[in-house]
Amino acid sequence: MKLLDGRTAIITGAASQRGLGRATAELFAAHGARVAVLDLDLGAAEAAAAALGGGHMGLACDVTDKDQCDAAVARVLDAWGRIDVLVNNAGITQPLRILEIAPENYDAVLDVNLRGTLYMTQACIPAMRDAGSGSVVNMSSVSAQRGGGIFGGPHYSAAKAGILGLTKAMARELAPDGVRVNAICPGFIDTDITAGKLSDDQRAQVLAGIPMGRAGRASDVAGCALFLASDLSAYCTGTEVDVNGGSLI
Ligand code: NAD
C-alpha cells in the first residue's frame, strides 16, 4: 500500500547525500508523494530531486530567510496546487561548550533549527488551512530531551527544545483547521552531521548508552516521518516520537 499517493511534500535540508531529509524524500517518493527537495544549494537540491525519479522538484531555500521560504512555497503551490506535508528537517550543529558560544554562534544555530521551522510552517499554513488538512513534521533531537551530547552544543539543545514547544503550540492552534504538527527526536544516527566527529573510543561510549547497541540509520527516522506524514497517524498531533534505540530508557 502506498501511503502518500497523490500527496505533495516539502522537505527542507533534503539534499545531503546520507542525511535524514534525503532518506525521508526517498521513502515519501516510494510511497507515491511528489517531493520538493529544498536546500541551500540549487544544484544539489535539483540533483537530489532528480535522483528520486520524475515529477519531483529541487529548489534553493535558506530557511533562515523568510522571503526565500515564502518564495519556495509559492513555487510549489504554483506547480502542484497543494502542500500536504512539510518536513522541517534543515539543521546545523556546533560542538561548542557553554563559554565558547559567541552571539553569532547562538544566532546561527537558533536561526536554522528554530526560526527556519517557524518561517517554513508559516509559509505553508494558509494552503493547508484552505485544504482543511496537512501534516507538519519537525526534526527535534534527543539533545532537546537530555541536553548536550558531544555534537550539538547547548545552543543546539536549546533550539531543538524550542522546536518541541513550537510543535505543541502550533499543534494546538492548528488542530481545528485539520492540520497536524508533530516532532521526531532522533538519537544517534549515522549521517554527515555525526560522521567522523568521534574517536573510536567516543563512538564505543555512545553506543554503550544505546540499549539496541547500534547507531540509528537515516531510514529509521524516515520510517517515523512517513508514519507522521500519512493517515496512519491521523489522530496524532503535538506528539514527539523518539527514534533512538532506547537511549532514554
Ligand atoms: P545533514 O547535515 O546530513 O543534513 C542537514 C541538511 O540541512 C544539509 O543538507 C544542509 O545543507 C541543510 N541546511 C543547513 N542549513 C540550512 C539552511 N539555512 N537552509 C536550508 N537547508 C539548510 O544532517 P542530518 O543528520 O541529516 O540532520 C537532519 C536533521 O536531523 C537536523 O535538523 C538535525 O539537527 C537532526 N538530527 C540529526 C541527528 C543525527 O544523529 N544525525 C540526531 C538528532 C537530530
The class level of CATH for 8-239 reads alpha beta
**Residue 106 annotated in active site:** no
Mean per-residue pLDDT, 89-112: 96
Chain-centroid distance of CA 116 in Å reads: 11
ipTM over 0.90: yes
Mean per-residue pLDDT, 104-111: 98
Three cell numbers, residue 107: 544566532
Please provide the average confidence, as pLDDT, over all residues in the chain: 96
What is the residue extent of each domain of the chain?
A: 8-239
Total number of residues shown for the chain: 249
Verify whether ligand 1 is closer than 6 Å to residue 123 (CB atom): no
> Are the beta carbons of 49 and 82 closer than 8 angstroms?
no
Distance between Cα 15 and ligand 1 center (Å): 10
Q: Which contacts (CB < 8 Å, 24+ apart) does range 98-101 have? A: 98/154, 101/153, 101/154, 101/155
Three cell numbers, residue 205: 561510549
- In this model, does residue 135 exceed pLDDT 90? yes
DSSP 148: -
Mean per-residue pLDDT, 215-224: 98
Protein residue with its CA nearest to atom 18 in ligand 1: 62
Q: pLDDT, tens digit, for every residue of 181-210?
A: 999 999 999 988 787 778 889 889 999 999
Indicate the pTM of the whole model: 0.98
Q: What is the pLDDT of residue 149?
A: 63
